[in-house]
Amino acid sequence: MVKKWNCGFLVLLLALLLGIKNGQCQRSIGVDWEYAVECAGTAKDGSYIVSVVCEGKNLKKTIEMAMKSAIHAVLFKGVDGTAAGCVKHGALVTNPNAIDEHTVFFKALFKDDIYKRFVIETPGTVYTTIKTSRGIRVVITLTVIKDELRKYLEKNGVIRGLSTGF
């Protein structure tokens, strides 16, 4: 019997094995790491379930980087819809100058642990760790609370509210 492979799983596995990096945070907001993020399933309205591949020196810091990476992807890159049951979601921040215009805001978001209000480890998550020459590589499933993140961005003037006119 031939098993059908989930396309999203294969992409994530490829990223894990080959070390393909999908994004790099901007140095101007005080973070500099690489990651790969993809949709890992459907969530309740207003949330995304994402799978993140991230490298670091130790497990605790790498999981923190994965959480930041999930937020960064939702903010600036969007989340692909290649996995079964997933829908592609665009980035919340569409202004290409947003980081320059709101540098203080984004530094605080990532450095002051504000991001932790908008991302949690998905219940029942079992993460995978692999030793690498630079430390460890972690694959973890996280839930990003997109609606609350959007409200926070709107409240702080980073993006326009959905109820504002064109």
Residue 162 included in any domain: no
Residue 12 included in any domain: yes
Full domain range(s) for residue 55: 7-155
Q: Which of 91, 149, 142 is nearest to 117 (CA)?
A: 149
Residue 53 included in any domain: yes
What share of the chain has pLDDT > 90, as a percent?
58
Angle, vertex CA 38, rays to CA 35 and CA 41, nearest 5: 145
Residue 102 included in any domain: yes
Half-sphere exposure of residue 50: CA atoms within 13 angstroms, side-chain side: 31
Q: pLDDT tens digit string along 52-92? A: 999 998 999 999 999 999 999 999 999 988 877 788 899 99
Number of domains in the chain: 1
User: Which whole number is the average pLDDT over 10-18?
Assistant: 42
Q: Which residue has the tokens 């999203």?
A: 8
CA distance 131 to 112: 29
**Of 19-23, 47-51, 59-63, 81-85, the least confident:** 19-23
Per DSSP, the residues of 95-121 read -TTHHHHTHHHHHHHHHSSGGGGSEEE
Residue 16 included in any domain: yes
Residue 163 included in any domain: no
Residue 20 included in any domain: yes
User: Which whole number is the average pLDDT over 109-137?
Assistant: 92
Residue 160 included in any domain: no
